Amino acid sequence: MTERSVSIVIPAYIGTADGRDLLDIQLDALTRQDYSGEFDVVIADNGSPIDVRVHIKSHPLRGRLKLRYVDASGGSGAAFARNVGAGSAVGEVLLFCDHDDRAYPNWISRMVEFLEEGYDLTCSAIEGDSLNADHPRRVANIPAPGQFQPPGVYAPVIIGTSMACRAEVYRKLGGQDVSYAANEDLEFGWRAHREGYRLGYLAEALVAYRYRQGFRPGYRQGRSRGLGLARLNAEFPKNGLPELHLPEVLLRMIRLPFTRGLVAEERGLMIGLAVGQFRGGFRYRTMHWI
């Protein structure tokens, strides 16, 4: 197989020193890759309070990873940061991951190898166990690789925390939709599919995903996802995802605060998801009354 030049784009909003340490864990993981081709790493800073520019310019792994800093503070959200990072990338293949996760050593090689099977845009499965041993979810854990893709969906569900795209395709599509607060990766994939590009899902966990900690971070994430899912139902009708029915959404909003056995982040995520779907269902007119 011909080795492709790769640019890894990492959108980053880092608010604390702990967040900076998590970025360093991800960067350390990228030094352990078994990929034999060339790759560089672009940190797209989405207006972090921490001085990420200084951190990257003086980073001990800067030369080894060909680290580059780009200012992506002109708009908010992961989609905006990914687009800015992709705009300055030089690789034939764009890989995307998040700053607070950890890529497996074969992440680059397997993602590029799978893309070369005839796809334009792919993602892999992820796992939520290894980085969350101290605060595991009880109900909303990440599904097993073979269960990640819901049956009967419009097209493979693309996730930005482990995504590969041919650079020319990413640019032809105009990047990700920055008006999405969440699910911008899923929308990007379905838009690519609608335009005739080939999507693939690699049912192999290649990234360790880190859950947020605490009720509020979980709630914010869930609310954004709920809004995004409601909007997707409007823009991609009959997409195969569950429809929104008002009685069911209201029942979840009432029951979840009193459901036993949920950790704080998990409870926040699930309540936020229901609230987001409630608001989004009416905003985008995708809520069914019965």
The C-alpha atoms of residue 158 and residue 82 are separated, in whole angstroms, by 14
Per-residue confidence (pLDDT) for residue 89, from 0 to 100:
96
156 close to 149: Cβ distance less than 8 angstroms: yes
CA distances from 268 to 138, 194, 257, 274 (A): 13, 33, 9, 10
Domain boundary among 208, 225, 259: 208
Percent of the chain clearing pLDDT 70 (strictly above):
99
Residue 140: pLDDT band with limits 50, 70, 90: confident
* 107, 207 contact by CB (below 8 A): yes
pLDDT tens per residue across span 175-231: 999 999 899 999 999 999 999 999 999 999 999 999 999 999 999 999 999 999 999
Question: Residue 1's pLDDT is what?
Answer: 53
Where in the sequence is the domain holding 158, given as residue range(s)? 6-208
What's the full length of the chain, in residues?
A: 290
Asked if residue 168 and residue 49 are part of one domain, the reply reads yes
Q: Which CATH number characterizes residue 173's domain? A: 3.90.550.10
pLDDT of residue 2: 63
Q: In whole numbers, what is the pLDDT of the chain averaged over residues?
A: 94
The alpha carbon of 248 is separated from its chain's Cα centroid by a whole number of angstroms, namely 27
Q: Please indicate, yes or no, whether residues 203 and 221 belong to a single structural domain of this protein.
A: no
**8 Å CB contact between 248 and 273:** no
**pTM listed for this prediction:** 0.94
User: What pLDDT, in 10s, does the model give residues 83-127?
Assistant: 999 999 999 999 999 999 999 999 999 999 999 999 999 999 999
- Asked if residue 240 belongs to a domain, the reply is yes
Select the more confidently predicted residue: 49 or 3: 49
Is the same domain home to 36 and 164?
A: yes
Q: Which of 208, 239, 259 is the last residue of a domain?
A: 208
Whether residues 181 and 245 share a domain: the answer is no
| Confidence label for 139 from pLDDT (cuts 50, 70 and 90) | confident
Could you tell me which residues are beta bridge partners of residue 205?
A: 125
Residues 75 and 167 in one domain: yes
CB 108 within 8 A of CB 95: yes
Same domain, 64 and 143: yes
In a domain, 1, yes or no: no
The total number of structural domains in the chain stands at 2
Tell me, yes or no, whether 26 lies in a domain: yes
pLDDT exceeds cutoff 80 at 238 = yes
Domain final residue, candidates 179, 208, 237: 208
When pLDDT is cut at 50, 70 and 90, the band that residue 143 belongs to is confident
